[in-house]
Structure 1
Amino acid sequence: MTETLRPIQHPRPARATAMAPTAGRTVRDELFRSIALWLGRVLLPSAWLGSRHDSHARAAQWALQLRFPHERLAGLTTGMAVALRRARTAAFWEQDLLLGVTSGHRTVDEQNRMLTDDLIRLESVGDGPARALPVEQSQHVAGLAVDVRPREAAMWLERNGHRFDLYRTYANEWWHFEYLPRASGTAPQMLAHPGARGPGKCSTTGAGVQS
């Protein structure tokens, strides 16, 4: 199926903002962010020469690859990959945010290992919310989910994800977003946690391994 892309209006490239740590950022994080933003602007002319229609996306992608060199983005569905790229491009140019990915597609073996570890954890603590789902229920295995960082970028994505069909789906996982094109711009009600059958209160302090 051919994906119809809605154009993103990009502001005129500006200088990277001064290095001043804000809530949730360390001096090191801010330094790397400033360097990546500067690189994106430096690389923009080269990206424009290579492909004028998506030069901002290409320049942002190059800068993000340098900032997050160990990301694994292979295995995502085409729709998810396109939506993620558009969201990262918008975050980069509109808000000077670097939207990193800590977990994308997972293999069956990887998900089974996470599920086994979570079952052991639940046995030791006696009770608590699940942190991992069976293979057949995991949107990571299906290539339809990503876990993102840092928190400020996740907060931006939660507010703007409807533009890209990306939605936060668990109240206890601020980092987990799923590609839901059928939502048609309306955020689905968040579940309390992976495997929950009902909604939960939104939390920004969830921790642990992800669904």
Structure 2
Amino acid sequence: MAIAKALGYRLLRVPHPGALGEAHGAVFVGTTVFDDGVPAVANLDPAFLGALRRAAEDAAGDGIDFVVNSGWRSPAYQDQLLREAVVKHGSEEEAARWVATAETSAHVAGGAVDIGPPAARAWLSVHGAGYGLCQIYENEPWHYELRPDAVVNGCPPMYPDPSQDPRMRQ
């Protein structure tokens, strides 16, 4: 990856060679919350994206960079991720602990982002509530959503995993 960056190449982060591409929400390695030309960023809810950008600007002052590993996803991309999770985890029930359906996914709605690297997640775990940015699932420390009330009340308790989130039972 370092060689590709040194040569000016951008590597598309997709699960496998046949995966849907950037137009469906796949991101290039090193994508940030400021990359307006990337659909995974551009299609995020505007209030959510604004909070992410304010947090990223403040984190940069602490020497921390936010990388978007996943943001908005098309329904087709979400369906593909779910199918892959069923194969990986052996059942729909186990897959639901990691991947939502297209109908229930906050990523498809433009309301979720998976942030890296670990230093950025650590920064958000300490400071995110001040921007309304909360980790939602205990098993997904990278997954953040906007909870505006968190600015005053702090982040709500996390669900153990997505299968315990009532929004996933639609």
Q: Percent identity?
A: 31
SS of alignment partner, residue 147 of structure 1: strand
Equivalent of residue 172 in structure 1, options 139, 157, 160: 139
Equivalent of residue 113 in structure 2, options 128, 146, 151: 146
Which residue is equivalent to 1:68? 30
Indicate conservation of the 8 Å contact 1:101/1:148, yes or no: yes
Tell me the TM-score normalised to structure 1 length: 0.56
Larger mean CA deviation between 130-139 and 74-83 belongs to: 130-139
Distance 1:81 1:197, change over 3 A: closer
User: Which ranges in structure 2 are unaligned for 5 or more consecutive residues?
Assistant: 7-28
SS of alignment partner, residue 163 of structure 2: coil
Distance 1:196 1:69, change over 3 A: closer
- The list of structure 1 runs, each at least 4 consecutive aligned residues, that deviate by more than 4 angstroms after superposition, is 126-129
Q: Distance in 1 between matches of 2:117 and 2:72?
A: 19
Q: Distance in 2 between matches of 1:119 and 1:164?
A: 34
Tell me the TM-score normalised to structure 2 length: 0.69
Bigger-Rg structure (1/2): 1
Which residue is equivalent to 2:90? 123
User: Which ranges in structure 1 are unaligned for 5 or more consecutive residues?
Assistant: 1-27, 33-66, 199-211
Which residue is equivalent to 2:154? 186
Distance 1:127 1:104, change over 3 A: closer
Deviation at 1:114, TM superposition (A): 0.7
1:88 aligns with 2:56: yes
Equivalent of residue 77 in structure 2, options 107, 110, 124: 110
Q: Distance in 2 between matches of 1:147 and 1:157?
A: 12
Distance 1:110 1:159, change over 3 A: same
Q: How many residues align?
A: 133
Structure (1/2) with the larger strand percentage: 2
Q: Distance in 1 between matches of 2:125 and 2:63?
A: 16
Which residue is equivalent to 2:11? none
Q: Distance in 2 between matches of 1:129 and 1:78?
A: 27
Indicate conservation of the 8 Å contact 1:163/1:185, yes or no: no
SS of alignment partner, residue 122 of structure 2: helix
Deviation at 1:197, TM superposition (A): 5.0
